Each structure stands twice: as structure tokens, then as C-alpha cells.
Amino acid sequence: MSDAQSSKVDQVNALEVEPAWWRNQLLIPCVAGIFLILAWSLQRGWIVVNDNALLRWCLPSKWSVTNDGVALVCLTVVYVVAGWNAFLDGLRMAFKARLDIDFLMVVAAIAAAWIGEGIDGGLLLFLFSLGNALEHYAMGQSRKAIRALGKLAPKFANVKRGAQEIEIAVDQLVVGDVVVVRPGERLPADGNILAGSGSIDQSPITGESVPVAKEVSDEVFAGTVNGDGSLEICVSRPSSQSTMARMILLVEEAQQQKGHTQRAAEAFTRIYVPCVVVGTILALVVPYYFGWLTFDESLLRAIAMLVGASPCALAISTPAAVLSGVARAARSGVLIKGGLHLEGLAIIRAIAMDKTGTLTNGRPQIVGIFTADGVSERQLFKTASAIEQRSEHPIAKAIVRAAQAKDIHVAAAENVSAIQGKGVTGTVNGKTIEVGSARLMRERGAILNEKMETALAQHDASGNTVVVLSSQEKVLGFIALTDRPRAEAAQAIRSLHALNVRPVIMLTGDREGVAQAIANDVGVDEIEAELLPQDKIERVKSLLEKYHAIAMVGDGVNDAPALAMATVGIAMGRGGTDVALEAADIALMADDLQRIPFTIRLARFARKVIRQNVAVSMGMVFILIPLTLSGLIGTTLAVIMHEGSTVAVVINGLRLLAFREPQK
């Protein structure tokens, strides 16, 4: 993680000490509302303060104490408290030759006061400040996800130093440190279990509702809660690069990116607001010039039209829904990098998925070994693991694990390089070794005898993956592995079909027989096998041309280009590589494919809410403009209806926070 990214994490953690939204936002409309009620009551005569002895004692003797005077003071407080921020923002934008909603609100309130309708102007500013407070609340719900994440990891860790345990700050942990975590404690860092076992509550990170059983060598995450067993954990990443830190950055990025609807609304507002100003001037000048209305009547209707035409509700309609949707997804272990991707997910009609590590568990098991004459099984594993030990591919890891389990010392390989999409080559004990598919060996001129071809055909028929080793065109043998589908894969694909997301296409570099065996188990509609990384990009391009909006799901480095190319890229957050997570738009922190149908439902609901909000906000504008110009409603009712629509779209957007998955 770069210094800039670490700085971002520090800024996010600093959010913990920011005052709650109600301390600095809701306080403004509360104070303004109290003084507005006082002013209104004084003008109505419900409160009488004429010659009040206490007030006369508090005020200079030359000041007269009357209802109108005290009401004016109360209204001044309302204007200053509720309108100060809007005035500053509007003035700042005016200096930049841009007119915004704040400017319209302040102008309308001042104009109302000028013609003696100060209560209407105060009501406008009060409701406008209340709408802003609710807007901050809506946006604060997504920021709360960041604050919650920042509070999860403990600040200190118990580290083994020889025979002793010492307590140090978490940010001082280094890779390789062994930390001790007792029952009920939160884990201070990402790592692997060295000793102990137990169940760990991973819901803060992955959204899993049930604690997960963990044993020696299993990966664990900072911020999760240890259950009933004492654990010793070897730290695998510093705190600034932990899974939690990456989650924080992803949620932070989500707040910076805007969807198509929000961008369109902002572009529309930049053009629309000056048009409203021009329209208001015409509404004031034309009726008065032609003698249809008096100046005060024209001004009153122009102010009412200015209020009704202001696009306050439109400005908040999309962010309120998008940020609520992002926050709701984060609570279920799905991190969406912005409104653009939430909206994109709502319109996808087809989805492509990688096989290894995505549709399958990504932990292949060895199911067969074949050695050439004069080559022992131990020699085969020693040579294969020497080449594969530097690879992050699941098959390579499985071979290295098997060698370690057989207590085979892994030799050092030199000049290791990838043969793109086909295998790996390197030098072991001075001999050039190639590890890859049978197709690669045939291309290189290696000779496979009849017995070996028969064994290969049997494994092909069973859908197993075969890794062949050769040295200087002589085949040493092969290792057959199988990778079982994820338990939830078949149900996830059925759920996608129920959402009318089809076809579901498997893209894999494996042979067609292997791909077909997995496809039969999980129920994908189409398969594309034996693809190189560049082939995956071409397939995604062709799918985009055919279906216009598609999603791509993957976990590896070779999936990153395709993830970036798709309308929406979805990465497996737990098992995925950093490159895939960087290229993707959405991360599944629990690697749970069932989260994909859930997130699509959420995205479609968010899109529905956004459309409702846009319809309400613009519908209210189209209703109020003719009503105010014709004089059918006055400023007070226009203010209430206009600001009421702003509050309505905020509340409607917040419904996304309560989104629930349908009962299974």
C-alpha cells in the first residue's frame, strides 16, 4: 500500500472523532425552528411581550419592547442561523460565475423578507436547512461503515518474543511476528494460524452470519472475533495492508465516484439554475410591465415560482439512494466502489465467470500421479515443486503443499518464467524443466508414450486437470488434480437465472473436458475453454457487443484485464489477488457467489428508488411552476411542498439501508 493510501486510511480513522451528525447539522434547523415558531406566535399575537418588564430590564432603555420588534429579532436569528451556510456557499459559487441551489434559496428568502413575508422566507430557510441535515444523515450512513471498520481492529497485540509475551502497538507488527489471541479477543492482524483451533466470527469483514471453524494453516483476518480457542497467528501482512485496510479504501473510493444518473443530474442543474433565475426575472417584469399585476403581486408570485422551480430534491435524489445502497452492500460483505458500478450492476443481462478460484474452491487436490520409467514419484514432486513454488496459481500451490506433506525438500529453481497461459519453464540442477499442459508438451516436441496417452485420456474423461513435466523433450510424468465447485455455486447460478441474468458463461484456460465437468455440476449456460488471458478480453468484448451490459467475475491476475473491460468487474475479495481487486468494481469479501444475486437485487432496487426520486423531485417542480405563476398557491405552501419533496426523496433513499434478501 502506498504512502498516499496509508494517509487515506489515517483520514478515515480520524472520522471516529468527528462529532455526530446531529451535533453540528440537526442543531441548525432545531434552533432556526424554535425561533421561527416564536416569531410566528408573536406576529399572531399568541405570545404577548409588549412592555415586558424582564425584556425592558435586559434591553437598553431607548429600545421599545413590542411583539413586532421581538418577532423581527427572532426572524433575524432564523435567517442568520439557517441561511448562513447557504449564503456563503451561494456567494462562493457566484464569484466563480456559477449559480447553484443555495443561491436561489437565499435570494428567495431575502426577497420574501423585503416584501414583508419574512415568515415565509424563514420557513424556506428552516426547511432548506432541515433538508441539508437529512442529506448529511443519509450520506453519514455510508461513512458510518468506514468508521465501524476503523474501530474493529484492536490497537495493541500480544506478540511472542522467545518464551515471553509482550504487548506492542498493532502498527508496529511486521510480517512473521507471532501474535497470541485469547478467546473473545479481536484479531489484531491478517495471518495464518500456527497453533490452536476454534471458531471465528468473520461477519464484520465477510458478512457471514455464522462463525467459521479455523484450524492450523487457515487464513484469518484482522478485526474478526476469536471464539472459544486460544490461537497463535503468524502475521502475513502489516496493518496498513490488511484486508480491513483494503476494505476501508474501497468504501472510501465508493464515496468519490458518481453514477450516470448523479452526473446527469448535476449537469442538468448547472444549466437549469441560471434558467430559473432568468424565468424568475421574467415572471417579475412581464406581468408588471403589461399591467396584469401590481409590482408586489408580481414579486410575490416570482418568489413563489423561484422556490417551486429550485431543484433541491433533484440534487439529493440520487446521492441519497446510491450512498445508502453502498452502505447496505458493505454490511453484507460486498464492497462497491461507487454509484457508477451500482447502477451498472442493475442493467446487466449476462455474466461471465472464471473457473478456478471463482466457480471452484481454488484448492485443487491431487488425484493421480504418473511417472515415466526411471523417474520416482518423489523426484517428480521435487522437480515440479521447485518450478511451481514461486507461482500464485492454485494448482501450483497444491503441488507445493503436496510436496511439503510428503516431507520433500523443495529445490531452488533458476530462470523461472511463464509460458503465457500454458505453463512455466525454469532450470533445476542445471536442467531445463517445463511444467504445463499436454498440449504445451506436444507443441514443444515432447513425446508421450501410449501408456501415458491412455492415462491422460482417462483423466480428461473424468474432468481432471493434468500437469505434465518434461526435461529436454523427455516427459518425466504428470500430476492429475481436481478442483471441486464451490458449495454455493449451483444455487447462485439458479438465482441469477431467476433474475433473468443469462447466459452465465464460464471462461477458463483449462481444457474443455475439465470445464465441461464443472459446468455440468454448477449449471452454467455456456463454456469457453482453453483461453489465454488475451482471449478472455476478446470474449468479454464480444459479449459486450452482443448484450451491451455484462458482469465479469474473477480472482486472478489473468482475470484483471477482463474485469476492467466488463461493464462491472466483480472480484473474490478473500482469495483474489491485489491486481484483480484493483481492477474490479465490486469485491465479495466472503468469496460467496450468493452475494452476486443479492447485490443485483439491491442494485435494481436502488435504480427503482433513484427513478422514483427523480420523478418526485421533477414532478413537484412541474406542478409548482404553473401553480405559483397563476397565483393558485402562495409562497408558504410552495415552500412546504418544495422542501417536503426534498425530505421525501431523502427518506425514500434511506429505505435501501433496510433492504432485505428474500426468504429462501
Task: State residue 6's pLDDT score.
Answer: 44
Residues 162 and 210 in one domain: yes
Residue 594 · residue 648 · CB < 8 Å? no
Residue 529 · residue 508 · CB < 8 Å? yes
Residues 222 and 305 in one domain: no
Residues 404 and 470 in one domain: yes
Residue 328 · residue 602 · CB < 8 Å? yes
Task: State residue 186's pLDDT score.
Answer: 84
Q: Summarize the confidence of residues 329-343 as an average pLDDT.
A: 84
Residues 15 and 127 in one domain: yes
pLDDT grade for 12, boundaries at 50, 70 and 90: very low
- Residue 659: is its pLDDT beyond 80? yes
Give the lowest-confidence range in 89-98, 114-123, 148-157.
Answer: 148-157
Q: Which of 177, 209, 241 is the last residue of a domain?
A: 241
Residues 207 and 83 in one domain: no
Q: Which of 194, 209, 241 is the last residue of a domain?
A: 241
Task: State residue 141's pLDDT score.
Answer: 54
Residues 395 and 467 in one domain: yes
More confident residue, 346 or 396: 346
- Residue 392: is its pLDDT beyond 70? no
Strand order in the sheet with 212-214: 212-214, 198-201, 225-226
Task: State residue 17's pLDDT score.
Answer: 37
Residues 309 and 377 in one domain: no
Residue 339 · residue 266 · CB < 8 Å? no
Q: What type of residue sits at position 168?
A: I
Q: Summarize the confidence of residues 601-614 as an average pLDDT.
A: 93
Residues 175 and 114 in one domain: no
More confident residue, 3 or 624: 624
- Residue 291: is its pLDDT beyond 60? yes
Q: Summarize the confidence of residues 319-342 as an average pLDDT.
A: 83
Pairwise CA distance, residues 364 & 324, whole Å:
39
Give the lowest-confidence range in 19-23, 257-261, 339-343, 387-391.
Answer: 19-23
More confident residue, 533 or 2: 533
In tens, the pLDDT along 432-444 reads: 888 888 878 888 7
Judge whether 595 lies within some domain: no
* Angle subtended at Cα 153 by Cα 148 and Cα 157, rounded to the nearest 5 degrees: 165
Judge whether 491 lies within some domain: no
Task: State residue 159's pLDDT score.
Answer: 92
- Residue 20: is its pLDDT beyond 60? no
Q: Which of 199, 216, 241 is the last residue of a domain?
A: 241
Judge whether 512 lies within some domain: no
Residues 133 and 195 in one domain: no
Q: What type of residue sits at position 307?
A: V
Judge whether 548 lies within some domain: no
Pairwise CA distance, residues 577 & 573, whole Å:
8
- The CATH number that applies at residue 183 is 2.70.150.10
Task: State residue 547's pLDDT score.
Answer: 92
Q: Summarize the confidence of residues 170-196 as an average pLDDT.
A: 87
Task: State residue 494's pLDDT score.
Answer: 95
* Angle subtended at Cα 257 by Cα 256 and Cα 260, rounded to the nearest 5 degrees: 150
Strands 526-528 and 504-507: parallel
Boundaries of domain holding 58 = 3-147+255-325+609-658
Torsion of CA 598, 601, 603, 609, to 10 degrees: -140
- Residue 398: is its pLDDT beyond 90? no
Pairwise CA distance, residues 68 & 431, whole Å:
100
Pairwise CA distance, residues 391 & 385, whole Å:
10
pTM of the complete model: 0.71
- Residue 7: is its pLDDT beyond 60? no
Task: State residue 542's pLDDT score.
Answer: 93
- Residue 375: is its pLDDT beyond 90? no
More confident residue, 493 or 371: 493
- Residue 500: is its pLDDT beyond 80? yes
Task: State residue 616's pLDDT score.
Answer: 92
Q: What type of residue sits at position 646?
A: T
Give the lowest-confidence range in 198-207, 267-276, 496-505.
Answer: 198-207
- Residue 251: is its pLDDT beyond 70? no
pLDDT grade for 286, boundaries at 50, 70 and 90: very high
3-state secondary structure of 614: helix
Residues 116 and 212 in one domain: no
Task: State residue 608's pLDDT score.
Answer: 94
Q: Summarize the confidence of residues 321-344 as an average pLDDT.
A: 84
- The CATH number that applies at residue 406 is 3.40.1110.10
Residue 248 · residue 589 · CB < 8 Å? no
Judge whether 286 lies within some domain: yes
Judge whether 201 lies within some domain: yes
Q: What percent of the chain is predicted at pLDDT more than 70?
A: 84
Give the lowest-confidence range in 103-117, 251-265, 458-472, 647-661.
Answer: 251-265
pLDDT grade for 58, boundaries at 50, 70 and 90: low
Q: Which of 102, 120, 190, 354 is catalytic?
A: 354
In tens, the pLDDT along 540-584 reads: 999 999 999 999 998 866 787 888 889 999 988 766 556 666 778
Task: State residue 353's pLDDT score.
Answer: 93
The yes-or-no answer on residue 354 being catalytic is: yes
3-state secondary structure of 352: strand
pLDDT grade for 527, boundaries at 50, 70 and 90: very high
Judge whether 372 lies within some domain: yes
Task: State residue 132's pLDDT score.
Answer: 75
Pairwise CA distance, residues 494 & 597, whole Å:
9
Give the lowest-confidence range in 4-18, 56-70, 508-522, 571-585.
Answer: 4-18
Rounded to the nearest integer, the mean pLDDT of the chain is 80
Which cell is 414 given?
533458476
Residues 194 and 121 in one domain: no
Residue 310 · residue 105 · CB < 8 Å? yes
Judge whether 237 lies within some domain: yes
Residues 417 and 384 in one domain: yes
Q: How far is CA 289 from CA 5, 302, 381, 510, 586, in A?
A: 61, 14, 96, 80, 59
Pairwise CA distance, residues 242 & 260, whole Å:
32
pLDDT grade for 310, boundaries at 50, 70 and 90: confident
Name the domain count of the chain: 3
